[in-house]
Amino acid sequence: MLHVLASIAVTRYAPHALPGTGASAVGAPRHAPSQLGWLDWLAGEDVQSSPEASEVLREITRPEGWDVSCSIGSDVARSVGGSGLLANGESATVRLDLRLRFALDSGYDPPQGSVSLLQRSSYVNAEQGIWKVDSDTDAGVPDVVQWRLNLPGGLQAGGQELLPAGPIYFNARCQRGDGGDGGGALPRLRLRAGRLTVKEDIGIDTPIFGGKGILAEFKIVGTFETRPVLGT
C-alpha cells in the first residue's frame, strides 16, 4: 500500500554507523549447507546461542510476522542525516506499508535467513530477500538487524522518481521490554530506530589511472516503524 503525504514529523537521529553497510553480505555458515555446494565453506565449530539470544531470534522470526510502515522522501531523509540524491532534492513524502516474515537458516554466524512478504505489494518484492544480525552484545544477543528487499520498478510519486529500481536496505535496533502488558503475554521485542538506505554510485578521481572510477555508498532515504503482528 502506498500513501503520499504532504508532510511528516520525524525525530532526529544520529546514525550509529554508515547505514546499510554489509546488509547484502552473507555470513559464513558454521556448517556447509548442501544448497550452497558451489561455495567451498570451511566448517567451523558450532557455536551455541545463549538462552536470551535464542529467545530474541525466536521473536524476530515469529511466524505471524511484522508490520513495517516506511516513510520515504526528501524531508524525512534530511531529518535523519541523509546526504544522498533524495535528501538533497525536494520530493513528496511517501508511506509504504509492508507485512514481512523472517526465516532463520541454520548453521550461520552471524544468524541470518530469508525474508518473505506475507501480503502482496505493488512496489516491493522479496526476490533475493535476506536478513541478518549486524551486531550483537557480548552475550551474543542481537542488537542491530538488517534486511534487504527489492524495488523492481523503483518508487515514484506525482511523476517524480524517488528511488531507482534495485535493492532497498532496512536497518533497525532490537529493543526488549515486558510486552507492554506488564506480564509478558505480548511480544517483548521491538525493532526501533528504523532507517532505510539505498546504494548510490559516486564518481571518484583516480589520478593513478588517469580517469574517474565508480564507488557505491549507502545513503539514507527514509525511516520505518515496525509492529509485531499478533496471532489470532
From CA 5, how far away is CA 43, in angstroms rounded?
A: 50
Stated pTM of the model: 0.76
Rounded to the nearest angstrom, the gap between the alpha carbon of residue 232 and the centroid of all alpha carbons in its chain is: 27
Q: pLDDT digit string (tens) for 51-75?
A: 899 999 999 999 999 999 999 999 9
| pLDDT given for residue 7 in this prediction | 37
Q: pLDDT digit string (tens) for 144-181?
A: 999 999 999 999 998 999 999 999 999 999 998 755 44
Q: How many CB atoms lie within 10 A of CB 83?
A: 13
Q: pLDDT digit string (tens) for 176-219?
A: 875 544 445 556 899 999 999 999 987 655 555 555 556 889 99
Closest alpha carbon to 84 in 193, 226, 195 = 195
| pLDDT given for residue 39 in this prediction | 34
Closest alpha carbon to 5 in 122, 98, 96, 92 = 92
Compute the Cα dihedral for 133, 166, 85, 158 and give only its sign: negative
User: C-alpha cell of 151?
Assistant: 524495488
